[in-house]
Amino acid sequence: MGIFKIDGVLFTTLNRVANLFLLNILFLVSCLPLVTIGTALVALYQVSLKSLEDPQAAVVQLYVTSFKHQWKKGLMIGTGMLVINSIVASIVYFTARSFLFLSIPLFVIVAWLCLYNIYPYVFASQTDSVKQSLKQSVLCTFQFLPESILMFMEMLLLLVVGPIFLPQMFPFVILFGFSGVALLQSMQLKKMVSMFAEMK
């Protein structure tokens, strides 16, 4: 029967689930030295985008290769984003309580930064420099605002809100959470990456 063929629906689905599991475990393991989180995110998104084009892709080999090639760029972006987020969080914490009239502008800045955070890791593998990645990320945040909001909500609901209010979701996060969210986000990111490739 067609369903049991190697390229049939059943085996394709099982292969997709297995790849999500492997990719999620690889991501978690490579994040254990916290300094490598940036590089791990770059590799995660690069492999997720490639797996959309080829469901049979060898995710382990792709992830390891991407991790090695994007090591320096991912480290720089991860460190830079950590510094920026920490500075903004500190400003909001100390300023909003003393100057209430600044609460709304600060909220807008924080909201925009939340939407922006994902893009540098995505474009790190698509650009030649960190500066170009950051610049392209700014453009995408504004140009694809609805998609940016959707991707942020996917991440927030599945990785933060869900496990807090439904502890039963925690095993899902450990097994498939990060790779699953990256795959969902990649469905929106694919259009942006294609557009950027045409502009180069």
In the chain, helix, strand, coil percent, each to 5? 85, 0, 15
What does the pLDDT read at residue 98? 76
* Distance from C-alpha of 47 to C-alpha of 102, rounded to nearest angstrom: 41
What does the pLDDT read at residue 126? 83
3-state secondary structure of 183: helix
What does the pLDDT read at residue 97? 73
Residue 135 φ/ψ, nearest 5 degrees: -65, -45
What does the pLDDT read at residue 178? 97
Domain ranges of the chain: 2-199
Tokens 């080829």 correspond to: 54
**Residues 31, 174 contacting (CB under 8 angstroms):** no
Q: Position 86: which residue type? A: S
**Residues in the chain, pLDDT under 50:** 1
Q: Which two tokens stand for residue 33?
A: 């030295």
What does the pLDDT read at residue 129? 87
Q: What's the pLDDT tens digit per position in 129-161?
A: 888 999 999 999 999 999 999 999 999 999 999
Q: Is 95 exposed, middle or buried (0-12, 13-18, 19+ CB in 10 A)?
A: middle
Alpha carbon 48 to chain centroid distance?
Answer: 9
What does the pLDDT read at residue 195? 81
Q: What would the DSSP string read from start to end of 8-69? A: SHHHHHHHHHHHHHHHHHHHHHHTSSGGGHHHHHHHHHHHHHHHHH-TT--HHHHHHHHHHH
* Distance from C-alpha of 62 to C-alpha of 25, rounded to nearest angstrom: 14
Q: What's the pLDDT tens digit per position in 162-171?
A: 999 999 999 9
